[in-house]
Amino acid sequence: MAAEFDGALDDYIQHLRVERGLSKHTIDGYASDLIKFATWLADDRIVLDDVDESTVAGFLVSLSQQGRSARTQARALSSLRGFFRFMVEEHRRESDPTELLEGPKLLSRLPDILSRDEVLRLLQAPSGDKPNRVRDRAMLHTMYASGLRVSELVDLDLGDVNLAEGFLAVLGKGNKRRIVPLGEHARAALEEYLAEVRPKWAKQSARACFVTARGKAMTRQSFWAIVKKYARAAGITKSISPHKLRHSFATHLLAGGADLRSVQTMLGHADISTTQIYTHVSSDHLRKMHERYHPRG
């Protein structure tokens, strides 16, 4: 355990014993949780000053993946919450990284996602230059690149698309708008669709970005069928839905090193505790980094 954590933990234990008068059994439970957290930080070379919401969420998820009960996870979060509140009160930290985190009810329901390889196969499935395949390719790329809800995708207006700058202005829950980047591949796929297909299908007064061959706006049900069709063509056997692309978008971003706040903004989550569920794969990323760089990995 790092010296900085060792000293802070000693002071916190003293605080629990003298100022709060807790029993030895209770203090030992808190200390055990905090030592496990300190060891987890040391294994991944994370210093105490760098601990944030995603770090704590990653630790809680690691407990879940180890098969620890929801009760154990909740106790660990409670131990960490008390410790970091003490650190803030003692002016050793400016903020409490546990303040916005909720207990294990979210951590117990991890979203099922597609692997990177499965996503790639799905995106490549609508190949060719047939109009419907060009549109389907643009929709799949756009949803995965931007992490949109299916309703946000089919409700996207032409005026919400800024190809020149490479972003979408998405109208999400609560009629709140957010700016979401497109990415190079989605931008190219969308540009091809808007140039080659939509002008032939859409009526002049149509506002919807994605339309059918009859010029009507795409529906949620129609896009669901599109996702299933190309999943079968890509040889993906697990259950599939449009929302699974959104889950995959968030998880792959976090596993690649994106910070929790940025992913929260892109997903349009009002509460960061909703986003933390996607950190389950980031712990796998940290494990791989540990194996690569730790002398005893």
Quick one: tokens of 42?
């040391």
Catalytic site includes residue 246 = yes
- Please classify residue 68 by burial: count the beta carbons closer than 10 Å to its beta carbon, then call 0-12 exposed, 13-18 middle and 19+ buried: middle
Three-state DSSP state, 170 = strand
Catalytic site includes residue 278 = yes
Helix (H) or strand (E) holding 178: strand 177-181
At what angle are helices 3-14 and 24-43 packed, to 10 degrees? 160
Q: Of 137, 244, 269, 280, which one is the catalytic site residue?
A: 269
Quick one: tokens of 200?
């032939």
Catalytic site includes residue 280 = no
Round to whole Å and give the CA distance between 140 and 227. 8
Q: Of 81, 216, 243, 290, which one is the catalytic site residue?
A: 243
Catalytic site includes residue 173 = yes
Q: Of 20, 130, 173, 261, which one is the catalytic site residue?
A: 173
Q: Of 75, 135, 141, 149, which one is the catalytic site residue?
A: 149
Q: Which residue has the tokens 């944030």?
A: 52
Nearest to 55 by CA among 112, 5, 120: 5
Which residues are designated catalytic?
Answer: 149, 173, 243, 246, 269, 278
